[in-house]
Amino acid sequence: MAALYTAVATATGEGRAGGRAATDDGALDVVLAVPSALGGPGGGTNPEQLFAAGWASCFHSALKSVAAAEKTVLSDSAVVAEIGLVPDGSGGYGLEAALHVEVSGLDQDVAERLVEKAHQVCPYSNATRGNIAVRLTTTTDAAAPANA
């Protein structure tokens, strides 16, 4: 099947240690840097942040899509993606992920069902399924007091 869209990005320089990543259309052009949490200088983004931003936005779109298909209105929602860089035990590295989905105005069970459906259709979720540990959490304000 032919791709509906192909994103093109090029990384140059020293990779995550002072390189640059840019898309062919110029919409994204970032300096890369090892984060200070890993002993680097910080001051730039890194592949894990880019992956987190991509997955969060893709998952949020999937959530909106499955909600719309079920005629469920999501008036306020957000997806927070955490991507962890973990040693793989052989001198290399792997990833782990946590997706925290926040929705307002829905019962917890409805929100969790939508999140699970989104996890089944999101391209990032499908690409990583079985390859990295992924933890999904869903929170709603449905249990909050009316004047909170």
CATH number at residue 4: 2.20.25.10
- Please tell me whether residues 5 and 77 are part of one structural domain: no
> Within a 10 A sphere around the Cβ of 48, how many other Cβ atoms?
19
How does strand 9-12 pair with strand 29-31? unpaired
- Please tell me whether residues 35 and 61 are part of one structural domain: no
Contact of 48 with 85, CB cutoff 8 Å: yes
Residue 20 in domain: yes
Residue 77 in domain: yes
User: Does pLDDT of 145 surpass 90?
Assistant: no
Cα distance between residue 117 and residue 41, in whole Å: 40
- Please tell me whether residues 88 and 136 are part of one structural domain: yes
Cα distance between residue 111 and residue 139, in whole Å: 8
The residue whose two tokens read 């792997």 is 94
- Please tell me whether residues 52 and 117 are part of one structural domain: yes
Domain range enclosing 28? 1-45
Neighbouring C-alpha atoms within 13 Å toward the C-beta of 6: 3
- Please tell me whether residues 35 and 104 are part of one structural domain: no
Residue 125 in domain: yes
pLDDT of residue 32: 96
- Please tell me whether residues 61 and 41 are part of one structural domain: no
Residue 3 in domain: yes
Cα distance between residue 134 and residue 144, in whole Å: 27
Residue 146 in domain: no
pTM score, whole prediction: 0.91
Residue 6 in domain: yes
Strand partners, 134: 97
Give the tens place of pLDDT for each residue, 13-60.
998 999 999 999 999 999 999 999 999 999 999 999 999 999 999 999
Q: What are the tokens at 90? A: 């052989």
- Please tell me whether residues 78 and 93 are part of one structural domain: yes
> Among candidates 54, 24, 49, 26, which has minimal Cα distance to 36?
49
User: Does pLDDT of 147 surpass 60?
Assistant: no
What total of structural domains would you count in the chain?
A: 2
